[in-house]
């Protein structure tokens, strides 16, 4: 049984808390949030302790491991504070919006050596995992083209946008991580266009709401990602991997399996599941399971700090490309204009 302390009592903290409480291998021991009311409300649901001070919370000997769902600006401090106390830590993406801070954090984390996982939950989606397994089994031969469609049902509040690090670092980063994971080789070039087509307030905040990104891997495999902050038909999540021997696609998840045939059209599927909490519900549970596995086995989780860092490098490159109109060459932790 792993006793877990959760930082952050917001939407993602609530999700992790529910999963920790429901998992037979973990126990929610405390919830930390400077918003004491939120912390109390969440902790109360599961009989957990309420904390408002991070150090106090982490010093408690009954805390075996830490899950961080706090605001991004707090991530690095909390990661290191946990790890310095020898406590395995799982942190939501991104580690930080500043690659220099991420580099420093990872350098120290490597010395500390405690299990450290980063929240790219989509890798744990059952359909994505089945796709990855089929690719690794050689079902489609060598990967040649990946097409990722990722569109939110509705734009977030502008306040969220302002502190998000920008569309590429906030949202596309999930798709960049998926692409890296599926490609199984380094991305060496990134090109992107960003636009404002959804919400003028997002443009006013200096961010994009519609974007396309292209990647080239070391051996020339190509990837296209398209993103929108608004799809009226729902949360659209599709991955297509085309290879020398065939193609694999993941399909969207639906509210139900009902099909409608009417005068206006035939075989209409039900609406898509609402948003990521519904669509990726299973992935968060499996992600937790894998974190618990890593703790029990004294190993690093499969989605590592380095994965978090690499995805941020690609997101930074996409942002830079969208701003400059140049493809950006990526080389380990550096990036430069291509051409």
**With the CA atoms of 276, 277, 280 and 281 taken in that order, what torsion angle do they form, in degrees rounded to the nearest 10?**
-170
Whether the Cβ atoms of residue 127 and residue 250 lie closer than 8 Å to each other: yes
Strands 116-119 and 89-92: parallel
Sign of CA dihedral 307, 309, 314, 315: positive
Binding mask 95-134 for its own copies (x = CB under 8 A): -------------------------------xx--xx--x
Q: Which of 111, 265, 297, 332 binds its own copies (CB under 8 A)?
A: 265
Q: Which of 3, 52, 214, 333 binds its own copies (CB under 8 A)?
A: 214
- Please tell me the distance from the alpha carbon of residue 304 to that of residue 300, in angstroms, as a whole number: 7
Given the rule CB under 8 A, which of 63-71, 142-150, 284-292, 298-306 is the region that contacts its own copies?
142-150
In the complex, least distance from residue 102 CB atom to its own copies, rounded to whole angstroms: 26
C-alpha atoms less than 13 angstroms from C-alpha of 34 in its C-beta half-sphere: 4
Q: Which of 1, 218, 258, 274 binds its own copies (CB under 8 A)?
A: 258
326 binds its own copies (CB under 8 A): yes
138 binds its own copies (CB under 8 A): no
205 binds its own copies (CB under 8 A): no
C-alpha closest to that of 7 among 79, 60, 61, 64 = 79
Binding mask 11-50 for its own copies (x = CB under 8 A): ----------------------------------------
Q: Which of 270, 275, 278, 331 binds its own copies (CB under 8 A)?
A: 270
Residue with smaller CB distance to its own copies, 83 or 223: 223
Total residues contacting its own copies (rule CB under 8 A)?
77
C-alpha closest to that of 4 among 22, 23, 24, 30 = 30
Structure tokens of 220? 């020339």
């Amino acid at each position: 049984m792993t006793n877990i302390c959760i930082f952050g009592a917001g939407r993602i903290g609530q999700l992790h808390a529910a999963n920790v409480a429901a998992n037979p291998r973990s126990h929610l021991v405390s919830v930390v949030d400077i918003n004491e009311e939120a912390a109390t409300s969440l902790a109360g649901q599961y009989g957990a302790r309420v904390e408002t001070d991070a150090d106090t919370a982490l010093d408690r000997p009954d805390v075996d491991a830490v899950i961080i769902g706090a605001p991004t600006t707090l991530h690095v401090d909390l990661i290191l504070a946990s790890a310095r106390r020898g406590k395995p830590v799982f942190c939501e993406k991104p580690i930080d919006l500043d690659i220099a801070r991420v580099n420093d954090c990872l350098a120290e984390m490597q010395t500390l050596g405690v299990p450290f996982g980063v929240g790219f939950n989509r890798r744990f989606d059952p359909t994505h995992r089945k796709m990855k397994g089929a690719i690794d089994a050689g079902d489609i031969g060598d990967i040649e083209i990946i097409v990722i469609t990722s569109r939110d049902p509705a734009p977030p509040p502008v306040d969220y946008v302002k502190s998000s690090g920008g569309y590429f670092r906030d949202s596309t980063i999930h798709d960049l991580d998926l692409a890296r994971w599926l490609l199984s080789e380094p991305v060496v070039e990134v090109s992107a266009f960003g636009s404002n087509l959804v919400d003028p307030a997002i443009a006013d905040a200096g961010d994009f709401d519609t974007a396309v990104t292209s990647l080239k891997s070391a051996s020339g495999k190509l990837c296209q990602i398209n993103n929108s902050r608004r799809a009226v038909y729902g949360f659209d999540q599709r991955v297509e991997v085309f290879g020398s021997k065939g193609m694999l696609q993941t399909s969207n998840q639906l509210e139900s399996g009902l099909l409608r045939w009417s005068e206006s059209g035939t075989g209409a599927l039900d609406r898509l599941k609402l948003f990521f909490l519904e669509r990726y519900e299973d992935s968060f549970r499996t992600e937790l399971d894998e974190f618990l596995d890593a703790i029990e086995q004294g190993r690093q989780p499969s989605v590592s700090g380095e994965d978090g860092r690499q995805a941020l490098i690609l997101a930074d490159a996409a942002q830079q490309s969208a701003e400059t109109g140049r493809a950006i060459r990526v080389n380990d932790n550096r990036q430069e204009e291509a051409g």
